[in-house]
Amino acid sequence: MASCPIFVINLEHDVVRRAHMASQCARLGLAVEFVPAVNGRQLSDTDRAAYDRDKTLRVYGVEMLDTEIGCYLSHYRLYQRMVREDIPVALILEDDVELSPAFPRIVQDLLADPQPEWQVVRLESLRRRVREPKNAKFLGRPVKALRDGELYRLGTHVLGFGAYLIRQDAARRMLDYGRHIFMPVDQTMDRYWENDILPYLVRPIPVHQRGDLASRIGARPPGRHKGQPWALRLRQRWQRLSDSIAKRLYPF
């Protein structure tokens, strides 16, 4: 796959997931580099320094888990590497996904476009309304035919970061916009009305989460909003209203 390194984010001790990804990537003829993930259960003070608790509570609505911060940093450091090593485009995979047989051809077709309009193409989505669209908003607008599907531009957020292509200009945008951590990395990128990274997705969606591999993020304790002061709740409501208006006014 010319001019496109493939990075697989994997906790070094997680040999089962590593073997899973190594096996399917080899079967599909993909040469990948395994990149050590940031272990959210062993965050350093430096790791935590970028976490903006006040903004997190206002925008995300609840404290982030340490594992969410670790996941964020794992992707963010790849963006730093893309800029540092002058990598024009990269394919980034998490280690709990299943790749369709058509996956290599889809990536080849996307990379073959000499003047792509996209900065990031998501190849997986965790959002059910995007996976099973019932109207044009969630289906998106087709922009390019591929041998095994079609590239769509969406008018809504995608959710999910299991597999995506990212160009260096988008990596630079994320380094700037996302330098303060305030929500999970996929949701940070989904805020297109602020970061100007428009959402693109391939259909049929070629990558899916493995249901038999437990999430390394972990479950959030119940009652996450319980006991929050009214002043914070008012700020959260104002933030949601502001985001809603900004999304509607964004010039797609």
Cα–Cα distance, 195 to 173 (Å, whole number) = 7
The pLDDT of residue 1 = 44
DSSP run (H or E) holding 36? strand 33-36
User: Does 65 reside within a domain?
Assistant: yes
User: Does 127 reside within a domain?
Assistant: yes
The pLDDT of residue 221 = 63
The pLDDT of residue 227 = 72
Cα–Cα distance, 148 to 119 (Å, whole number) = 21
The pLDDT of residue 228 = 85
The pLDDT of residue 213 = 75
**What residue type is 34 in one-letter code?**
F
Cα–Cα distance, 181 to 161 (Å, whole number) = 16
- Residues 88, 91, 97: CA angle, nearest 5 degrees: 170
Cα–Cα distance, 36 to 74 (Å, whole number) = 8
Domain that holds residue 168: 6-249
Cα–Cα distance, 158 to 98 (Å, whole number) = 18
Q: What is the C-alpha end-to-end distance of the chain, expressed in Å? A: 31
The number of folded domains in the chain is 1
Q: Which residues of the chain have pLDDT under 50?
A: 1
User: Does 106 reside within a domain?
Assistant: yes
The pLDDT of residue 223 = 57
CATH of the domain at 179: 3.90.550
Contact criterion met (CB below 8 Å) for 217 and 164:
no
